[in-house]
């Protein structure tokens, strides 16, 4: 069960509405992605907390349906 780029974007946007998201399918298998996510909610919190917010938005799919998503986060 893989997730499409659109599904990932939708999940992230549903909990981080102001997110600007760029996702790349790294090898074209809908299973290895990289995502760059910018949002105001990342301002002033640690990288660990920023990534946790992204993982939370993916509702437990990270490490399960979604095998590999490398994340870069930035504030706005």
Binding residues (CB under 8 A) for another protein: these are 47-48, 51-52, 55, 60, 62-63, 68, 70-72
Minimum distance from residue 6 beta carbon to another protein (Å) = 21
SS3 assignment, position 18: coil
Whole-number Å distance between alpha carbons of 61 and 46: 22
Reading the block at residue 8, the tokens are: 């990932």
Q: How many CA atoms lie within 13 A of 41 on its CB side?
A: 16
Using the minimum distance from each CB to another protein, give the nearer residue, 24 or 52.
52
Q: How far is the CB of 73 from another protein (least distance, A)?
A: 9
Q: Provide the minimum distance between the beta carbon of 55 and another protein in the complex, in angstroms, as a whole number.
A: 5
């Amino acid at each position: 069960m893989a997730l499409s780029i659109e599904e990932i974007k939708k999940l992230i946007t549903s909990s981080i509405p102001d997110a600007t998201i760029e996702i790349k399918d790294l090898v074209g298998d809908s299973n290895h992605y990289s995502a760059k996510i910018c949002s105001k909610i990342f301002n002033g919190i640690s990288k660990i907390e920023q990534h946790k917010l992204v993982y939370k938005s993916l509702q437990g799919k990270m490490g399960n349906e979604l095998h590999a998503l490398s994340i870069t986060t930035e504030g706005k």
